[in-house]
Structure formats: C-alpha cells, structure tokens
Structure 1
Amino acid sequence: MTTIDVQKVTYNQLDDEKDVYIDVRSPREFAEYSLPSAINIPLFSNEERAKIGYIYKQESRENAVEKGLELFSMKLPLFYRELKILFQSNPQKRMIVYCWRGGMRSKTIAGTLSLLGIPCFQLEGGIRSYRTFIQEFLAKQMEVGRQFVVLAGPSGSRKTEILDHLEDKGYPVVNLEKLANHRGSLFGHIGLTPHSQKEFEARLVRRLIEFEHASHLIIEAESKRIGRVVVPSFILKGKEEGRIIEIDTPFHDRIHHIHQTYRPDLHKDEFGEAISYLRKRLSHPVYMEVRRAYDENRFDDLFTLLLECYYDPRYEFKQGVDRAKGSSISFHPFEEGLSSLEKELDQLIHHSHER
C-alpha cells in the first residue's frame, strides 16, 4: 500500500495573514470552536461521523476506516471543486487542512488533493495543538503585571454600549460578554447563540494578544460565569483588585435600554421559559405579578419588577463594589457620561505610565 506523503506545519508556523484554514471536522465540531476565519468543509456530516464512531466502537477500526473511505470517495469530486476554487482565489496563500488531532481526516484530504494538483498542508496535532496553545497562554496570565479598570453598575446601565464606544476609540477593552456571546443574566442567551468555553477562551486569547503591551485592561464587573462560560481566574483576580468605576444611569433609562436590547416582543416564548426559573427566587406575590405582566405584554412593568425585586438587590449584595477605591460617573445625559469616563481613563493610564 502506497503511503501518501503529506507536508505538515505546526501551530507555531501558522500565519493568519498568509494561510487559508480548511476545517474538515463535522459541523458540530466546527461550531464548538475553530481556527480564526477557518472555512468548514466537513469530510463527514454529524450523522456520518456518529455512525463511523459507532462502527469503530462496536465492530472494528478496520470496518470504520472502510466506511469512512466509502463516504469520502463519493464526496471527493465536491471536495476537489471547493478546494480548487479556494486555491485559485488565494494563489499566494498556503492551504492548511486540519481535523481534531491531525489524524486520518485531514491527512486524507491534504494528501489526495495534493496528488490532484492542489498543494495542501496538514496541521500537525490538529485543532488540539491550537487548544494547547490557548490553555498555556491563559495559564501564564497570572504572571503578567497588568492593571484592570472595572466598569460596574446594575442591570441595564448600558455597560456593553459603553464598552463598545471605548473599543471604537481604541481603549484596551476586553468585552467578556461579547466574547461569550451572552449578556450575563438569566435572560442573557435570548436572541443569541452563546459560544462554547473553548471558543470563548480562543477569542479571549486573541483579544489579549492585541493588548500584549497594554498597562491596563478595561472590563465589565462580571461574575464567575457568563451563561455556561467560566471566566478565567486571572480576570476575576483583576476585577477584585482593579479600579472600580460605577456607572450611574437613571432607572427609566435602564428600563428603556433593557427593552430595546432584549426585544421581548420578538422572543416571548424564550422569556416565558426564563421567567419560570425565577419561581423559587421570588416571593409568590411578586412572581405572580411578573407572570401577569408577561402574559399581558406589559414588558416595561415586567422589567421594573425584575430590577426592583431581583436584579438590583442581588447587585447590591453580590457585586460587593468597594466605592472607597473607585468612583462613580453619572450617565445622565449619556454623552456627558462618556466624555467624563474617557477623561478619567486617560488620567488613570497616563499616571500609570508616569510611574
């Protein structure tokens, strides 16, 4: 049997600007996390991969390989056409093929297409080599001497909007909720597709690399979890030790912002499901009033009840904002608050550089 000679590259040899990444894992695997800007051209569908795995476990490796080759042989013309288009569209770039751990899937694709005139490289170690890099990078962050500025404030204070503004202005913002694609509350997933832990960490690392030489990072005062995503301990430590800036937003502005952000009129069933989880966390009279407001589409009343009876008391108790080591900025009007915040941040960072 002839062995296909496949050119390999390691993760450290990759270049996002000069390489095209082709992920041949199943769509479900790809959705969990992938290399930046990777293109998913799956060798097997989710169902086919599950079937091959079943054959491998219940029968033998040989039978699983045969089934895989049978499926691949039917898809080869499609693979060839898709990769040929990619190759012709990116003549100056390397075609990097990867699977889970640099095994048979990526080797088969890279080797076969190379024989057909489309030079491909196989990522040694597959996506696992990328995952190893992510884990090692995050493990070293405890040793990095970096200060944190923490934007705090109760639900609806427009902190995400403020972070977006600062990011556009070039400040070193690490927007954890955006990286998790979750708003950080019981209702935070509504209208979104939250990222996996692996994808969150990969995006976080890419963001941290952008600010490798920054003296400060600006974050929101998050809890340990954002949905199902766990925030790394070095960020939690930075939050505890960082400079707190509390965002003071009028209550009626918060209600309006929450309504505009969550759009309960478009996601009513999801809201109803989330509200049901509050049954044991609210007193019975308050819970029943919440349900009535929901049933009657009185969403401003619904959000008012949730803030006054649940989120604001939790914020005061759980957040533990140490106002003695921080400051408060009024965002009424909003534009003046942004201007005041920028001035305070500039002063903080400038004084840090002087030291």
Structure 2
Amino acid sequence: MTNLDDLESLLRDDTPFIDTRSPVEFAKGSLPTAINLPLMTDDEREAVGTCYKEHGQDAAVRLGHDLVSGDRKAQRVMAWQMFASQHPDGALFCFRGGTRSEIAQRWLRDAGTEYPRIKGGYKEIRRWLIESTDQLIEQAPLLLLGGPTGAAKTRILNEGDGGEPIPGSVDLEGLANHRGSAFGRRVTEQPTQISFELALGVLLLKHQHAGYQRLILEDEGRLIGRCALPLSLQAARQDADWVQLDASVDARVEHSYENYILQNLEDLKSENATRGFDHFATGLLDSLERIQKRLGGQRYAELKANMRSALVAHERGKPEGHKAWIRELLIGYYDPMYEHQMNNRARPPVFRGTESEVTEYLLEAGTTSSTD
C-alpha cells in the first residue's frame, strides 16, 4: 500500500484529502482541502480509547472492529470510495499515519480501490507546515500595507490588479474570515486557530513557488478577530518595510458604511431574511460594547445612543444616519490608536500615497519575479 511523504508538492497542489480522524478532532482544525470521512464517530473513538487504557491495544483494536462492522463499515467504505473516484489524485490520513488510516486504506483496497495515505499523518503535516511557515516568513522580503481604519487596504490587495489580487499579496483577513476590527465579524464563523495557520502555510508555499519578489500583506495587529498571527510573522512585521495608504475621512466613512453596514446587512439577510436586521442591529451594539472600556463611559454612551438612533432610521429605510457615528468612531477612537502605532514603528514608510498611487506602487513591487 502506497504511503506519500512529499508534503510540499501535495499541499502546494491542493491535493484533496480524506481526514479519517473523528469529527471532534477534525473540528479543532484541518487542511483547507480536507473533508472529514471518519473511521470512527466521536462516541466510538471514546469507547476504543477507554478500552485501550483499561485493557490494552489488542482489546481496543478488537472493539474498534466490532463497533465498525457490517452495514456501518460498508457505508464508510462506500463514502471513501466515492471520494476516491471523484478525486483519484487525493490521499487519506489520520492523526499519526497509523492504525486508523492503515485500516481505511486496507478496507479500500479490499473493496477494489487503491488509495495512498500520508506518512506521519496530520501530526507530521502540521509540524512540517509550521516549520515551513516560519522559514518562508524569515526568507521572504516582507512589505506591509498600512493605513487608517476604513482606508480600503483589503480592497487594494484583493482587487488592485484590474479586479484581481495584487501579485505577491496574501489576504490575511480573508483567511481569518474577519475584517480585522471590533466591528469586523462576518456572517459565517471564523476558522479555528489551527485551520487558520494551516491555510496560511499552504498559501505561503504557493507564494514561494510562484517566485514573487515580495510577500505583501495588510499590516495587521496580533489578532484578526480570534485568529492570532504566527509568532514568526508578529516578529517580522516589527522591522518590515511598509507602505502608507492615505485616505480622507469622508472616503473612509463611505468605505466603512458600504462594508460594515450595507454589505454586512445584505449578508445577514441572505442567511436569514426574516431576522437579518435584528441580527445586524445586535451585532453592531455588541461590537460597540466590546470596546466600551477603551472608549470610556461618556463616549460609549453617546456612541450607543447615536447608533440606536441610526438603527431606528435604517429600519425605516434611511440607512445613511450610520455615517455620523462611524465618523465619530474613526476620528475619536481608531485614528488616535493608529497614530500611536505608527509612532512606535521602527522605520518610516518606504512609500505613501493615495489609493491609485499605492496600488501602482504595489503592482510594481509584487510583479517582479525573484528570478528576474
């Protein structure tokens, strides 16, 4: 039976994977191209684990075969076969590349399907990707895009090349499924920390393979929502070259209004047309409450009152009232924070300009191959 160990090629080429670990293990994090088709359910795995502790490995293996037998076994093998037929270039893995993936591979072979498994399993994949990520961040010349909240940094990185991403850029907020501020929560949940790190590692492999001159990222803080940047990236950004994006307050208010108000409400209504506005309003008020201590009591109370008034008007068909509290929040809260952060940077920006000027600069910085 075939075991694969060329992790770089497998991950870089978006190989489809069967993750045979239990659902609770999978939920903690897995690869972007993995689907969970477990050998055992959570309850079955728990029973086998208890048996192993009390009676040893042989008894646990026997119990596992008893629990997953007959129609239950046939259904799981059928699911693996269907995946294998749809993805003949794929592979399977378990936690350590041991018993569970070996059993799945053997049962598939007995059913007439040869399918490879990953040597070392999930544990080795994660170890290798963490090490690879740290090495790539250390080696790649880093260029950060900075600018005040609402300056449309993410839009530039994702759409700056004629509607396509700036070459050499990686969208950290997209990977984290979060817009990066207290109000940045999206309709769908963020990935787990492990899934975020694994997805970033895969994208960095692709970035290196493409031969870009620089790794271009939005200048993020330590956290994007609940997803933390790798420690190596947190350290590297301190001394990295960076570009300053300038934007007027009016432009930033408009951008924030379009994304955090109009687009967010549209997304919520697409998920729940009946309760979408209620979820939207609750989300805004909860986001404001999360920064209550930093705002101070009086400012928080004023912003909350203005936000409630805007929500009442919005529900009556007049959403533009949100722009008043957005402006107040940008000028009175986010701008002082950003100025403090910039004053603590180790070096001045290598370039600064408007959206069009910064876009042109980043396009030139990102398109030159390191082999040119």
Tell me the TM-score range normalised by the shorter chain: 0.7 to 0.9
Pair 353,288 (structure 1): closer, same or farther in 2 beyond 3 Å: same
Confirm whether residue 219 of structure 1 aligns to residue 232 of structure 2: no
What residue is the counterpart of 1:85 in the other structure? 82
- Partners of 2:111 and 2:50 in 1: how far apart? 31
Change over 3 Å in CA distance of 1:275–1:325 after alignment to 2? closer
- Structure 2 partner of 1:334: none
The verdict on how the C-alpha distance between 1:165 and 1:20 changes in structure 2, with shifts beyond 3 A counting, is closer
Q: For 1:208 and 1:351, how far apart are their aligned partners in 2?
A: 17
SS, match of residue 280 in structure 1: helix
Shift of 1:29: 2.7
Query: What's 2:270 paired with?
Result: none
Question: In 2 relative to 1, CA 55–286 (structure 1 residues): closer, same or farther, beyond 3 Å?
Answer: farther
When residues 222 and 65 of structure 1 are mapped into structure 2, their CA distance, relative to the original with a 3 A threshold, is same
**Take 1:69 and 1:95, find their aligned partners in 2: how far apart are those partners?**
25
Q: Indicate the residue corresponding to 2:108 in structure 1.
A: 113
Tell me, in whole angstroms, the C-alpha distance in 1 between the residues paired with 2:123 and 2:157: 32
In the superposition, the TM-score normalised over structure 2's length comes to 0.78
Q: For 1:67 and 1:293, locate their aligned partners in 2 and report how far apart those are by CA, in whole Å.
A: 62
2:281 to 251, 260, 268: 268
**CA offsets 1:243-271 (integer angstroms, 9 cap, x no match):** 33222222233223223323254532233
Q: Deviations over 1:18-43 (max 9, x none)?
A: 95421112334324333342232122
* Alpha-carbon displacement from aligned partner over 1:116-150 (angstroms, at most 9, x marks no partner): 21212232211111111112212323641x43322
CA distance, structure 2, for counterparts of residue 18 and residue 177 of structure 1: 20
SS in 2 for 1:267: helix
Aligned to 2:28: 32
**Is the deviation greater in 258-267 or in 180-189?**
258-267
Q: 1:203 aligns with which of 196, 199, 205?
A: 199
2:362 is matched with 345
Classify the secondary structure of the residue corresponding to 2:292. Answer: coil
State, as a whole percentage, how many aligned pairs show the same letter.
27
Count of aligned residue pairs for this structure pair? 340
Alignment correspondent of 2:178: 182
Which residue identity lines up with residue 176 of structure 2 in the other structure? A
Residue in 1 aligned with 2:127?
A: 132
In structure 2, relative to structure 1, the CA distance for the partners of 1:163 and 1:59 (3 Å cut) is same
**Runs of 5+ in structure 2 lacking a partner?**
266-276, 312-320
Partner Cα distance (1:349, 1:81) in 2: 46
Mapping 1:1-355, distance limit 5 Å: 6-12=1-7, 15=10, 20-50=16-46, 52-53=48-49, 56=52, 64-73=60-69, 74-90=71-87, 93-141=88-136, 143-144=138-139, 146-166=140-160, 168=164, 171-212=167-208, 213-262=211-260, 263=264, 265=277, 266-296=279-309, 297=311, 299-320=322-343, 324-330=348-354, 337-338=355-356, 340-345=357-362, 348=365
| Offset from partner CA, 1:203-240 (integer Å, 9 cap, x none) | 22222222323221211111122223332344344433
| Aligned equivalents of 1:350, 1:174: Cα separation in 2 | 14
CA distance in 2, matches of 1:353, 1:38: 31
What is the alpha-carbon distance in structure 2 between the residues aligned to residue 58 and residue 143 of structure 1? 46
Secondary structure at the residue paired with 1:186? coil
Aligned to 2:315: none
Cα distance in 1 for residues equivalent to 2:63 and 2:370: 62
Which structure would you say has the larger RCO, counting Cα contacts within 8 Å and 6 or more residues apart? 2
The Cα RMSD (Å) is 3.3
CA distance in 2, matches of 1:353, 1:113: 44
- Bigger proportion of residues as helix: 2
The amino acid of 1:256's aligned partner reads E
CA–CA distance in structure 2, aligned partners of residues 302 and 328 of structure 1 = 28
Aligned partners of 1:153 and 1:247 also within 8 Å: yes
Which residue is 1:333 aligned to? none
Q: Identify if the C-alpha distance between structure 1 residues 310 and 56 changes in structure 2 by more than 3 Å, giving closer, same or farther.
A: farther
Matches of 1:342 and 1:279, distance apart in 2: 35
Change (3 A) 1:347 1:261: closer
- Is the alpha carbon distance of 1:302 and 1:46 closer, same or farther for their aligned partners in structure 2, counting shifts above 3 Å? farther
Output the CA distance in 1 between the equivalents of 2:135 and 2:9: 21
